[in-house]
Structure 1
């Protein structure tokens, strides 16, 4: 039955059906990907920064924090990359962090452009189907011997206009999802950049809290062990 309805829209019916399936699959894939991203909440970041601060104080990065962070995902993996280059200069670590962030950005923004392309092409395919439907309708009217009844016009117009409506029903969710998911990805990337920059400064021995204020507290277990 669905196949008959798609075929009734003419030659543009199947391209629109394929576009709608691709759009749904891409949106679902992006939603699952973003939903499984590690959380960047304040509590988790505070704990992570404490680990990095303690590691920087102990100068034992490869044996302590890095070992536990390498198996992590998201920001913990990025921090592990920084810690594995703790002996390098701050500028070199910034370059390494920049490459890692670029890789994360590509991952987060993948499939958003194809989704936007579907949103742009779908209404054009619908409009093309409408125009072709109107051409067929007038061809059928010309072939009618005798008066043209409203039934003939209504049937042709319904098929032609439904193609445009179908194209819009594919385009609107695709464009909305592409822009909405893009905003989501940009927000997550900004949090990643903040965390990586913060961790890089902590590796330099700078003591500060998550707001950037100077933190004079020595609240790490490793630092207490060294003092003892």
Structure 2
């Protein structure tokens, strides 16, 4: 049954079937990858930054207070990299964090360009199949000795137009998935960047809460609040 449907697409049936399978595989792979990413919600970020505050006086990543970060994944791994360079200047740690962020961004955007390429090629292949189908239909009509009946035209047009429709059915989910995963990846990377920048400032000894408000080391509250 499936082979008959592919054959009904004409000359471009198999290319469209192959890229549709590739598209489904890529979408599933990206979906599993993004779902498995460590959570970066407010609660987990607050817990993470509190751990960094406890590690702000660490000299290296082997300190017992930092072992949990070193063994972690995702943003915890990135902050562990910052901790391992705690004896370096702030600018150097920023360079190291930037390299790690670039690596994460490349990993999250992997396979999105092939998905976009499939989304562009699929309707073109479908259109090419339609044109070839119409050429074959008119060639067949030219060989008919008697009158051309509507059923002869309908059969050829159905095969030709179905190829274009199938190409669009492959292209739309591919393009939608590529752009959606791209937005998801950019949002996740921005949260990683915020966490690393915040942690880098904490490692510099800056005392502040999760909103960036300065905190008095002795009282634990904002100096402005004390003045008020």
TM-score category (smaller protein): over 0.9
Q: Distance in 2 between matches of 1:84 and 1:165?
A: 55
Q: Which runs of 4+ in 1 moved over 4 A?
A: 58-61, 217-220
Seen in structure 2, the aligned counterparts of structure 1 residues 4 and 21 have a Cα distance that, compared at 3 Å, is same
Is the deviation greater in 146-155 or in 68-77?
Answer: 68-77
**How far apart are 1:37 and its partner, in Å?**
0.3
Shift of 1:61: 4.5
Gaps of 5+ in 2: 221-228
Once residues 126 and 157 of structure 2 are traced to their aligned partners in structure 1, the CA distance between those partners, rounded to angstroms, is 13
The aligned counterpart of 1:192 is: 192
**Residue 16 (structure 1) aligned with residue 16 (structure 2):** yes
Matching residue of 2:180: 180
Instruction: Render the CA deviation track for 1:128-159: whole Å, top value 9, x for unaligned.
Output: 00000000000000011110011110000000
Q: Does 1:102 align with 2:102?
A: yes
Compute the displacement of 1:59 (Å).
Answer: 4.8
Across the aligned residues of Structure 1 and Structure 2, the Cα RMSD in angstroms comes to 1.5
Q: Secondary structure at the match of 1:175?
A: helix
Is the 8 Å Cα contact of residues 62 and 83 (structure 1) preserved in structure 2? no
Distance 2:121 2:108 in 1: 23
**Distance in 1 between residues matched to 2:59 and 2:21, nearest whole Å:** 53
Note if contact 2:55-2:65 (Cα within 8 Å) is conserved in structure 1: yes
CA distance in 2, matches of 1:125, 1:42: 46
1:44-59 pair list within 5 angstroms:
44-57=44-57, 59=59
Q: Give the conservation status (yes or no) of the 8 Å contact 1:101–1:192.
A: yes
Deviation at 1:29, TM superposition (A): 0.6
Shift in Å at residue 65 of structure 1?
Answer: 3.6
Tell me: CA distance 1:116–1:218, structure 2 relative to 1, closer, same or farther (3 Å). farther
Does 1:114 pair with 2:114? yes
> Which structure has the higher relative contact order (CA within 8 Å, separation 6+)?
1
- How many aligned residue pairs are there? 220
Q: Which moved more, 1:55-64 or 1:33-42?
A: 55-64
Query: Structure 1 residues 46-55 or 135-144, which shifts more?
Result: 46-55
Q: Which runs of 5+ in 1 are unaligned?
A: 221-228
Residue 88 of structure 1 pairs with residue 88 of structure 2:
yes
- Superimposed CA distance per residue, residues 175-211 of structure 1 (whole angstroms, 9 cap, x where no aligned partner): 0010011000000000000000000000000011121
Q: Which residue of 2 aligns with 1:28?
A: 28
| Shift, 1:214, TM fit | 1.0
SS in 2 for 1:56: coil
The C-alpha deviation readout for 1:47-81, integer Å capped at 9, x for no partner, is: 11111111114556522243222221100000110
Provide TM-score, normalisation by structure 1.
0.93
The aligned counterpart of 1:223 is none
